Structure 1
């Protein structure tokens, strides 16, 4: 592959203008590896960008050109997903909700409170065929899963105006939701929700349309929500992650040498992301409190109420019982063992 200069900054241009110059020579950005994602290009606070940046550095050293498009600059989740399916974009970062209808195994892992730690999640990803099965399910749709990118500490609940310890507290608020899985969670918890795209959450909080959302603790400071949120309830619902998907049209065009270089780059991205995750977990609470948001730790009894309520989540229409049972088997097999 012809060598291109890797730009160590993210670009934000319409997809229709994917062209530029390198060394004064006109080039087509169709030849570059393009990453699309919804979050900022921030190495300190954004685990997605940490993964992609480390990957891109290795790709550039191997002669690939790279362009990054943060902050949904190439469209929302579904727009980026379709571009990747068509081979117009090589890789996109998305949520499990976006691909659940194509991958029952992805939905099998959507239930909260099953994975206890990031070490547990890593064992699930590396010691079972979990990723391979997801990729096989996505293959007819032109996609391959590359990794689960961790984005911070375990998922908890942000609220404005009211501290939440019990489900009854949350029932007085409106929770931001988006997907069918979110709606199932609302029904199990018997709370109110409003569907809001992530790009519109800040405005929804400011106007009082929503009062709460679920995310890891570093998200509010990263997106500047500290001024409109007051509390973070440390529910520890499960790992906070995004999914990195690649276009199979692109992957199949790579030579054996180029594919080997890509695998090396993906390994570098994964390693950088895991190191970053361990670091931010240690500092998340401090940074959250510095932004003016109070951290609420739950007792085991208080947290048990949330766990028990999640048992009422009904099977999703995309779930296949046999795959859900297999996923649960892997979760048990890779769980921490007492010494």
Structure 2
């Protein structure tokens, strides 16, 4: 064990040293800066913590990285060492892949369709059923900005033909398949390496919501954006299954109400996100809109990749939950 690892472990042990599930401080591991203006994830976490504190359950936010990276937070939550983690959408996919339906390109029109499938038609419950017994559950799905678009360093994208020759940063193999369906190529690059990849030509662009180059300082080399509205920009809140199940009925109701408060604040934040396009233009990024015909072409090509993301049964479940 390295000294850094030892200190992290010792610090975590100290945090966990006192209190029962009912009385101990509820620790919330953040995944973004504590900025209510720019971070939808933090808006959710802060509203959640505020509701708990106002209703007799002590909660504290821990800055991004204070309790470890995404994988460490996931491990701590699943082991019952940490109550709440703000996390990437795919963090639970190693346990069950149903959640990947939320990544299907051109499948959901907007966040209201996502909420309808998740909360009205039971898909969040279905995701958690697949996670039963793993130590972790998904407490909520959070939006972190407008739907994803196409950023690149090379040229304006007004049709799928313009993607030819571009090499795009990919999250995983399924996104590489998506790029191939669009006539381009992909390469998997960690987020920490993205700036260097874009500046050296290892990658020519990426898919992200419109605020990302502004937040991370990428407008020095990202020069083109197409608001293609590919898929909702989502992350999740994970909760320790052991901790949640160990709560009293009243405490669990308070936690559920806090999650509802987080959802409401998060969706209100999304509705108020205006002016980002103007900020991109001011930073020197050219905006190119898709025509209806061009969007339809992207959508048709994207649908051919669904089988690489979810299986037939999962796709049918998501379609039914979205449409009914």
**TM-score class, shorter:** 0.7 to 0.9
Structure 2: how far apart are the matches of 1:208 and 1:73?
Answer: 33
Distance of aligned partners of 1:174 and 1:68 in 2 relative to their CA distance in 1, 3 Å threshold: farther
**Match in the other structure for 2:302:** 310
Shift of 1:45: 0.6
**Match in the other structure for 1:34:** 27
Shift of 1:28: 5.2
The total of aligned residue pairs comes to: 315
**Match in the other structure for 1:337:** none
Please give the residue correspondences for 1:96-115 in structure 2 after superposition, counting only pairs within 5 Å: 96-115=89-108
Structure 1: how far apart are the matches of 2:14 and 2:67?
Answer: 17
Please give the residue correspondences for 1:129-144 in structure 2 after superposition, counting only pairs within 5 Å: 129-144=122-137
Shifted more, 186-195 versus 113-122: the winner is 186-195
Q: Work out which of the residue numbers 204, 212, 220 in structure 2 matches 1:219.
A: 212
SS, match of residue 213 in structure 1? strand
RMSD of equivalent CA atoms: 2.5
**Match in the other structure for 1:9:** none
Shift of 1:214: 0.7
Q: Work out which of the residue numbers 148, 154, 158 in structure 2 matches 1:165.
A: 158
Structure 2: how far apart are the matches of 1:93 and 1:47?
Answer: 11
Structure 2: how far apart are the matches of 1:60 and 1:170?
Answer: 49
**Could you give the per-residue CA deviations for residues 233-263 of structure 1, whole angstroms, max 9, x where no partner exists?**
1111121111111110111222222212211
TM-score norm. by structure 2 comes to: 0.88
Distance of aligned partners of 1:192 and 1:120 in 2 relative to their CA distance in 1, 3 Å threshold: same
**Match in the other structure for 2:315:** 324
Shift of 1:175: 0.9
Shift of 1:137: 0.6
SS, match of residue 132 in structure 2? helix
Shift of 1:134: 0.3
Structure 1 contact 153–284 (Cα < 8 Å) conserved: no
**Could you give the per-residue CA deviations for residues 190-223 of structure 1, whole angstroms, max 9, x where no partner exists?**
4222212223323332333222111111122122
Distance of aligned partners of 1:35 and 1:183 in 2 relative to their CA distance in 1, 3 Å threshold: farther
Structure 2: how far apart are the matches of 1:250 and 1:129?
Answer: 23
**Match in the other structure for 1:242:** 235
Structure 1: how far apart are the matches of 2:209 and 2:9?
Answer: 30
Distance of aligned partners of 1:73 and 1:176 in 2 relative to their CA distance in 1, 3 Å threshold: farther
Q: Work out which of the residue numbers 243, 251, 259 in structure 2 matches 1:266.
A: 259
Structure 2: how far apart are the matches of 1:254 and 1:285?
Answer: 44
SS, match of residue 140 in structure 1? coil
**Could you give the per-residue CA deviations for residues 279-327 of structure 1, whole angstroms, max 9, x where no partner exists?**
00x33222322333222211011112211211221523x7342232121
TM-score norm. by structure 1 comes to: 0.84
Shift of 1:149: 0.3
Q: Which runs of 4+ in 1 moved over 6 A?
A: none
Structure 2 contact 161–183 (Cα < 8 Å) conserved: no
Structure 1 contact 115–238 (Cα < 8 Å) conserved: yes
Structure 1 contact 37–70 (Cα < 8 Å) conserved: yes
**Match in the other structure for 1:89:** 82
Structure 2 contact 176–185 (Cα < 8 Å) conserved: no
**Match in the other structure for 1:210:** 203
**Match in the other structure for 2:51:** 58
Structure 2: how far apart are the matches of 1:64 and 1:209?
Answer: 48
Structure 1: how far apart are the matches of 2:17 and 2:79?
Answer: 21
Structure 1 contact 174–210 (Cα < 8 Å) conserved: yes
**Match in the other structure for 1:48:** 41
SS, match of residue 113 in structure 2? helix
**Could you give the per-residue CA deviations for residues 150-202 of structure 1, whole angstroms, max 9, x where no partner exists?**
11111111111322223332232221112233233233234222212223323
Structure 1: how far apart are the matches of 2:168 and 2:41?
Answer: 25
